[in-house]
Amino acid sequence: MCSGEISKRALDLTQDAAELNPANYSVWHHRRFLLKKLNSDLKQEMQYCRSVIEEHPKNYQVWQHRRALVEALNDGTKELRLTEMILSQDAKNYHAWQHRQWAIRTFKTYEGELTYIDRLLQEDIRNNSAWNQRFFIVTTFPAHEGIFNDGDGKLSTASTPILSGTILQRELNYTLDAIKKVTRNESAWNYLRGLLDNCDENEVDALRSKIYSSCTEILKSDDSSPYLLSTMMDLEREEGSKQGDRIKMQNAIDRCNTLANEHDVIRKEYWNYMADCIQVQMSSM
């Protein structure tokens, strides 16, 4: 690097150095510099990069190198297949998911992504990365871009990623079905909270009501899932505060006490703290 040598020999040396330490950022940076100066075949470099990723799938530097190559070629057609292959070996590889999201956002290659996510969740319904990817897809791309259909053959004209209408109901039903299968699946409960926090304000009350009703039905089966109880507590606290309903606020306090003493004892101090906070709110009502 100091000598300023620009040659095939120098490029080969970067490969030797990468083999010794594939996490060396300076090696990859200098390799990109030489590739550009030598006007090298980037498609061939893509193949080399893939081989390194297959051997070192959690190496941030080589994923960054891959992104730079894809940007230079302006071709993201191979990225979904590559990341799918890596994720088949480790479904929670953060670097692969990050690269996949970047490629989808950059090249709008989201067709069929929900089908892929469904397959992953069928294999492992607790796959938090797959739930995260689903949330990324449904909130990143406006419906009018063609990813979603309103059920009547017409595309939604929504211009913001706020969830509403048929899309919101579909995601709600999908999540509730998953929760009923495995009620202690924290990922699905987090997704449910995401729907609440990102839905159209005109639909939030109806959504809260439907979620609470579903939670009540699940509770009848004597389910002691802390995620179920904490969700009900959140809804009771929020609705009670909004409506000035002391009964709902007291119900929320009771949920906190149940969680602290029976179903989520490891977080006892947190639930006691929440109960105290709700009690303070009640005092000011």
CA angle 36, 38, 39 (to 5 degrees): 65
| Residue pair 149/114 in contact by the 8 Å Cβ criterion | no
Give the integer Cα–Cα distance in Å for 247 and 186. 28
Instruction: Report DSSP letters for 120-177, one per residue.
Output: HHHH-TT-HHHHHHHHHHHHHS-GGGTT---SSS------SS-B-HHHHHHHHHHHHH
Give the integer Cα–Cα distance in Å for 209 and 153. 29
- Give the active site residues: 58
Per DSSP, the chain holds a count of helices (H) and strands (E) of 14, 0
Torsion of CA 113, 204, 142, 70, to 10 degrees: -50
Q: For the chain, percent helix, then strand, then coil, each to nearest 5? A: 70, 0, 25
Judging by beta carbons within 10 Å of its beta carbon (0-12, 13-18, 19+), is residue 227 exposed, middle or buried?
Answer: buried
At 142, the amino acid letter reads P
Structure tokens at 134: 């689903």
